[in-house]
Amino acid sequence: MVDTLETATDWVNVDSLLGKIEASLRSGLEEDGEQVHVFTHLSHVYGEGSSIYTTYVYRPGGSFEAALERWSRLKRVASEVIAQNRGTISHQHGVGRDHAPWLPVEKGPLGMAALRSLAQHFDPEGRLAPGVLLED
Give the residue numbers marked as catalytic. 53
Rounded to whole angstroms, the Cα distance separating 58 from 103 reads 26
In degrees and rounded to multiples of 5, residue 67 shows phi and psi of -65, -45
Sequence-ordered list of residues with C-beta below 8 angstroms from that of 78, at least 6 positions apart, any chain:
5, 21, 24, 25, 28, 54
Write down the number of H helices and E strands in the chain.
4, 3
Rounded to whole angstroms, the Cα distance separating 72 from 77 reads 9
Rounded to whole angstroms, the Cα distance separating 42 from 64 reads 32
Cα 117 → chain centroid: 24
